[in-house]
Amino acid sequence: MSTPRRSSDAAQLEATRDAQLAVRVALAATVEPEDKALMPLLQGHDPFTAWELVRTNPEGRFDRCVARVERLRLDDIVARTAALGARIVIPGDDEWPCGVDDLERPPFCLWVTGPARLDAVCRRSVSIVGARAATAYGTQVAGELAFGLANRGFAVVSGGAHGIDTASHRGALAADGTTIAAMACGIDIAYPAANSAPLAEIARSGAIVTELPPGSAPQKQRFLSRNRLIAALTPGTVVVEAGLRSGSRATASAARRLHRVLAAVPGPVTSPASAGTHQLIREGGAVLVTDVDECADLLGSIGDDLAPVKREQPSVADTLGDVESRLLDALPVVRGTGVDRLAVSAGLAPREVMRALAVLLGAGLAERVDSGWRRTRDQIR
């Protein structure tokens, strides 16, 4: 595949997908995602014009791309992608996830491996992110949320990293659901290496996606770029655990900029691992969620995923009237007492005490003993 150059028949050339694919792969291979110096220079240009700028380097504005342009071999990238069993998705393809178009600077293209089609699974999906150095509490919560949401038909998107990401992917896999790992490296690199097995399982049943060509190593700035992709792929993001400087907060910020739903799970107030989630909630940017029902209610279809109202299980005592409740509170719990003393203690007339005792006896809340009346043993609070 040769890199297209602009000519008199540029309009005809640009109408072909192969040409679009070529320039987009070339741009992805030579310009870093979210490059703060170069991306503003390319913004607003069609990919052919953008590539012409990068390739020709007018006034030296793209000097940082020169070495990569000289070494660019599109045929090798395409061949390597095919050898990996992966595919390259570009805007205009049926599989292109339209959510990423909301980004200020969308990816030039996406490398994808796995059977899940991004356009289909991202419609009903959720991003679950959090700390790499997660606590046992955090990994348990993330796994349970992912398992429950996958059971309800949500695809779970995360970053393939240790901690909350791994727990989220595993939870979705345990439910035989779909999970997507958005990576900060090439599709041919399993990072972290310790996650090679779960990443391989994700590739077999879900999808692994990246905006970087094969061979791209994981680098710090690429993780930050990847975080915006995680936020854009789904209608909403749930932050399970995050410290005050957690990279997950970058995903949360991206979700807010994209006007996506943002939720956070509270943790122990003494835990530094949850300080970031607490701040997200306190600032009003994130909705507090505590379980699968609340997440589905927030992120799902109106009317179909409504969370039940949480109420404490009613007890027999909740059905009592005012007189019976007052008498129940006045009943002793060890030794019995007589009607006259109960009338004084509860502030009731003796006849009211007798009627109320009959009700409490029938409800199993009071019992008669040799010394009088007392509360039943199993009702002692």
DSSP string, 56-125: H-GGGTTGGGHHHHHH--HHHHHHHHHHTT-EEE-TTSTT--GGGGGSSS--S-EEEESS--HHHHTTSE
Q: Which of 211, 183, 208 is nearest to 32 (CA)?
A: 211
Same domain for 156 and 268? yes
Output the pLDDT for position 175.
97
Same domain for 350 and 239? no
Instruction: Give the integer Cα–Cα distance in Å for 39 and 86.
Output: 26
Range(s) of the domain holding residue 18: 10-74
* 304 occurs within a structural domain: no
Output the pLDDT for position 35.
93
Q: Which of 14, 19, 17, 16 is nearest to 3 (CA)?
A: 19
Q: For position 189, which CATH number holds?
A: 3.40.50.450
Q: For the chain, first and last CA: distance in Å? A: 78
Q: Which residues pair with 264 in a beta bridge?
A: 239, 288
pTM of the predicted model as reported, rounded to 2 decimal places:
0.81
* 306 occurs within a structural domain: no
Same domain for 178 and 102? yes
Same domain for 184 and 157? yes
Beta strands in the chain (DSSP E): 87-89, 110-113, 125-129, 155-158, 179-182, 207-210, 236-239, 261-264, 287-288, 366-369, 372-375
Same domain for 240 and 103? yes
Q: Which of 214, 217, 232, 1 is nearest to 113 (CA)?
A: 214
Cβ neighbour number for residue 342 with a 10 Å cutoff? 24
Instruction: Give the integer Cα–Cα distance in Å for 268 and 71.
Output: 52
Determine the 3-state secondary structure of 239 from DSSP. strand
User: Can you tell me which residue has the tokens 């490296």?
Assistant: 185
Domain boundary (237, 264, 299) is at: 299
Same domain for 132 and 67? no
- Whole-angstrom CA distances from 181 to 136, 145, 238 are 22, 16, 15
Helix (H) or strand (E) holding 356: helix 350-362
Same domain for 222 and 337? no
Q: What is the per-residue DSSP string for 368-380?
A: EETTEEEE-GGG-
Q: How many CA atoms lie within 13 A of 78 on its CB side?
A: 13
Output the pLDDT for position 8.
46
- Angle, in degrees to the nearest 10, between helices 339-346 and 350-362: 100
| Number of independent structural domains in the chain | 3
- Whole-angstrom CA distances from 130 to 167, 202, 238, 336 are 10, 19, 8, 57
pLDDT tens, N- to C-terminus, the chain (381 residues): 655 555 445 555 456 889 999 999 999 999 999 999 999 999 999 999 999 999 999 999 999 999 999 999 999 999 999 999 999 999 999 999 999 999 999 999 999 999 999 999 999 999 999 999 999 999 999 999 999 999 999 999 999 999 999 999 999 999 999 999 999 999 999 999 999 999 999 999 999 999 999 999 999 899 999 999 999 999 999 999 998 888 888 999 999 999 999 999 999 999 999 999 999 999 878 999 999 999 999 998 655 655 566 666 667 777 788 988 888 888 898 888 888 898 899 899 989 989 988 988 888 888 888 888 998 876 544
* 217 occurs within a structural domain: yes
